[in-house]
Amino acid sequence: MVEEQVRTPGESPLVVLQDSVVFPHILTSLAFHHPMDLAAIDEAMNREPKTLVCVTARNSGKEESASLETVSPELPVKLENLHEVGTMVLIHKLLRIPAGGVAIMVQGIRRVKIDEIVQTDPVVRVRVHPDPESPDRSVETEALMRLILGQVKQLAELAPYLPDEFETMALNIDNPHHLAYLVVTFLKLPVEDRQKILEIDSSEAKLTNLSTHLEREIELLELGGKIKSKIQDDVQKSQRDFFLREQVRAIQKELGDGEEGDEDIVRYREKIAKSQLPPEVLREVNRELDRLVRFGNGQSQESGVIRTYLDVVLDLPWARHSTEPFSIEKAQKILDEDHYGIEKVKDRILDELAVHLRAKGKNRGPVLCFIGPPGVGKTTLGQSIARAMGRSFVRVSLGGVRDDSEIRGHRRTYVGAMPGRIIQGMRKAGTHNPVFMLDEIDKLGSDQRGDPASALLEVLDSSQNKDFRDHYLDLPFDLSEVFFIATANVFQTIPPPLLDRMEIIRLAGYTWEEKRHIARQYLIPRVMKELGIDPFEFRLDDPALVRLIREFTREAGVRTLDRKIATLLRKVVRVRSEMSRKRKVIITPKSISTYLGNEYVEPEHLLDKAAPGVVTGLAWTPNGGDVLFIETLAIEGSKGFILTGHLGDVMKESARTAFSVVQSRIAKLGIEQNFFSKNEIHVHVPGGAIPKDGPSAGITIAVAIVSLVTGIPVPETLAMTGEIALSGRVLPVGGVKEKLIGAREAGIKRVFIPEKNAKDLLEIPEEVKKDLTIVLVSHIDDIFDECFSIKKRKKPVLSKVGKKFS
């Protein structure tokens, strides 16, 4: 081998390498221009053998390389700027480059260490000594060599810059150091890393270090390959998309709908620019618009779906507010302006608005819920609140909603999907913070398709509704500034979790006097305005108006009254148009029938005549208070007790309790001992088609049975309401205000109500209290005493009655 034949001279010319390292055993070509290097090469060429020391400058490869200075003729070469270990090389060939400089082909002979610089001018000459290497032949080294050969194979497949014979050359080397030097020559490595491999003595460490670099190189090449193929794919896809889009555009142009489509896109872009969309929404909208462009914006089903979506999203009030400064005084003025009476209701509303004002528009408290019969002004109260707060008003009905997707919308993947009622309402409202009325919350259903109540809970919950997510939109929408109001006719059917979150405000219905005021001050002027009627054209005096209210309508609110007034005034217009000489139309109580025909409503009759066993009770219905009759009959037989009249479970149980209470008082009431074993009692509540339920007829049923058995009639102008306990105690009931108004309308004069309902009397209108004698009762014995004068009676009268009714 050449290396063994060439000895190391004590002194040798030196060339300094800037960005490469020459390794022992490897053939390398180098180029030089600097006069100092050229002089060193010239000197080497004149020696035999033609040897030279190549050493790499420290920090080489960097811009401000120290070696550039050191090799300059003005500055002496310094030892500290050079790596200590270099390579002695044998020059095989020299080529003079015409433009100046030389190229030499050298073979690395061995590692040498520089002891000192003995001369710097005109040739740099150094004194060196050999730095022998002793390759190790251990199993570890063997294993590492194999590993490196495997990596070389991998590299050869991945790296296009490697010569074809690289792998074969590596396979034929059995010296671990020579293998390392060959591989590192072909690797793309920084100069400092190459120098390190040259300097490491141990074979194992040399190979390990090299293997790490190889691995990294392989990884880089693989990653590069992946990125490249992805870029190629993307380029191909975008070229394909572009091609297809161009085709679609050409087809659309042929069909004549391209131009219009483009206008649409421009319109959407303008709309997007104008709306202040939150970033997430903007991203989604742009994405959809891009899809629309890609779909060609024609008449396809998919582009229709995208357009509907964009219309909905861009119509939504993402940032639009309506705010006017409002004060409680202003709110009070507006509520009074729009509504007659209902002072307590207005007062409660003002309390809520004051809290709202304090919270600076953030809705923290419970949601208001107006409960009451139809036509009592629940909706108009909501409108007045909106007017007072300077906000827009929107009303959404929840009646019959059984599916939570009606609240939260259907996912866009469904055909004909639309947003839920809440988002539709917000779209209608046009502002971010409207007064939002959820109508008929008591008619909310639920079935296997989901529970709308829980969706509503999320809507109403101020801690969750900031990011309300409708399935259709699939974007968060902020509902936290919406002022929600719910309305219902009854509270029993409102889902309890919702009821928990609501502040209930009850509207009970109006007396006819209140209705007269409402008609005079609100309804008639409004209808006149609508129909363009002037005050001089007609006269509707109080007696006529009262007849209209009491005989042509039967309702707790004023909805029908409103309609009837409109019908009546339309007639006025007609009559006037038919008059040859225009006169004022006088509407009298009698002429009302002429104008309204037989739309007369039967008033609830009192019993024609008081009869034993028939007693008047009071009922609460979603439409207001009413009277109801309990009829009883004793029939010979031993079945005990029969109940008819479409009664609910609670009412049936209440009737049985009443029956037991009476039975337990046989002696006290002077009833024949075995009366009930010989007779069965039939209790019926007329109006069999209308379902009835609740415990409040308890005392009425007990009184009816005793009246039947004793044969003592109860006056037809007396009515009662109250739940009965087995002990005979009278328990409180609901809807007292409505019941008392209904009783008065029906012509009742005297009413028994539970003592525990005394607090309700504060709410009863004065005219009702004036017309009714209201008796507070706490025990059934007191009622029996009052109705049948039990204490004064001596002899039992009962068997006679039993015969009479059997």
Binding site for ligand ATP (CB under 6 A): 339-342, 374-380, 518, 522, 557-559, 562
With beta carbons less than 8 A apart as the criterion, state whether 40 and 124 touch.
Answer: yes
Neighbours of 793 (CB within 10 A): 13
Q: Which is nearer to ligand ATP, 40 or 385 (CB)?
A: 385
462, 738, 769 from 761: Cα distances, Å: 36, 11, 8
d(CA 88, CA 23): 9
d(CA 629, CA 616): 5
> Can you read off the two tokens belonging to residue 621?
């219905």
In the complex, what is the shortest distance from the CB of residue 373 to ligand ATP, in angstroms, rounded to a whole number? 7
Q: Which is nearer to ligand ATP, 345 or 714 (CB)?
A: 345
In the complex, what is the shortest distance from the CB of residue 514 to ligand ATP, in angstroms, rounded to a whole number? 7
**Cβ neighbours of residue 601 under 8 Å, at least 6 residues apart?**
551, 552, 553, 554
In the complex, what is the shortest distance from the CB of residue 618 to ligand ATP, in angstroms, rounded to a whole number? 22
d(CA 446, CA 97): 95
Instruction: Kindly tell me the sign of the dihedral angle through the C-alpha atoms of 200, 206, 208, 210.
Output: positive
Closest CA to 26 of 135, 86, 105, 118: 105
With beta carbons less than 8 A apart as the criterion, state whether 599 and 788 touch.
Answer: no
Preceding peptide of 49 cis, ω within 30°: yes
In the complex, what is the shortest distance from the CB of residue 689 to ligand ATP, in angstroms, rounded to a whole number? 23
d(CA 669, CA 349): 51
In the complex, what is the shortest distance from the CB of residue 447 to ligand ATP, in angstroms, rounded to a whole number? 24
With beta carbons less than 8 A apart as the criterion, state whether 696 and 733 touch.
Answer: yes
Q: Which is nearer to ligand ATP, 376 or 741 (CB)?
A: 376
d(CA 226, CA 231): 9
Q: Which residues of 193-230 are buried (b: 16+ CB within 10 A; e: fewer)?
A: ebbbbbebeebeebbbbbbebbeebbeeeeeeeeeeee
DSSP state of 426: H
With beta carbons less than 8 A apart as the criterion, state whether 786 and 707 touch.
Answer: no
Chain Cα centroid distance, residue 502: 20
In the complex, what is the shortest distance from the CB of residue 542 to ligand ATP, in angstroms, rounded to a whole number? 18
Q: Which is nearer to ligand ATP, 557 or 742 (CB)?
A: 557
Q: Which is nearer to ligand ATP, 458 or 555 (CB)?
A: 555
d(CA 519, CA 511): 12
Q: Which residues does the annotation place in the binding site for ATP?
A: 372-379
Closest CA to 26 of 148, 151, 179, 245: 179
In the complex, what is the shortest distance from the CB of residue 794 to ligand ATP, in angstroms, rounded to a whole number? 55
> Can you read off the two tokens belonging to residue 785?
């005493």
> Can you read off the two tokens belonging to residue 506?
């009850």
DSSP state of 712: P
In the complex, what is the shortest distance from the CB of residue 343 to ligand ATP, in angstroms, rounded to a whole number? 10
Q: Which is nearer to ligand ATP, 620 or 805 (CB)?
A: 620
With beta carbons less than 8 A apart as the criterion, state whether 15 and 54 touch.
Answer: yes
In the complex, what is the shortest distance from the CB of residue 522 to ligand ATP, in angstroms, rounded to a whole number? 4
d(CA 268, CA 263): 9
Angle at 383 between CA 380 and CA 386, to 5 degrees: 155
Q: Which residues of 81-106 are buried (b: 16+ CB within 10 A; e: fewer)?
A: bbbebbbbbbbeeeeeeeeebbebeb
In the complex, what is the shortest distance from the CB of residue 573 to ligand ATP, in angstroms, rounded to a whole number? 20
Angle at 202 between CA 198 and CA 203, to 5 degrees: 85
Side-chain-side CA neighbours of 542 within 13 Å: the count stands at 5
Task: Return the residue nearest ligand ATP (CB atom).
Answer: 377
Closest CA to 389 of 438, 349, 331, 303: 331
> Can you read off the two tokens belonging to residue 298?
């024609």
With beta carbons less than 8 A apart as the criterion, state whether 391 and 323 touch.
Answer: yes
In the complex, what is the shortest distance from the CB of residue 511 to ligand ATP, in angstroms, rounded to a whole number? 12
Phi, psi of 489 (to 5 degrees): -90, -35
> Can you read off the two tokens belonging to residue 314?
């861009």
> Can you read off the two tokens belonging to residue 116?
């000192």
Query: Rg of the Cα trace of the chain?
Result: 52
Q: Which is nearer to ligand ATP, 25 or 346 (CB)?
A: 346
Neighbours of 300 (CB within 10 A): 12
Catalytic residues: 696, 739
Q: Which is nearer to ligand ATP, 372 or 695 (CB)?
A: 372
Neighbours of 171 (CB within 10 A): 12
Query: Which residue type does 541 have?
Result: D
> Can you read off the two tokens belonging to residue 327?
């004060």
In the complex, what is the shortest distance from the CB of residue 353 to ligand ATP, in angstroms, rounded to a whole number? 18
Q: What is the dihedral of CA 52, 53, 54, 57, to 10 degrees?
A: -140
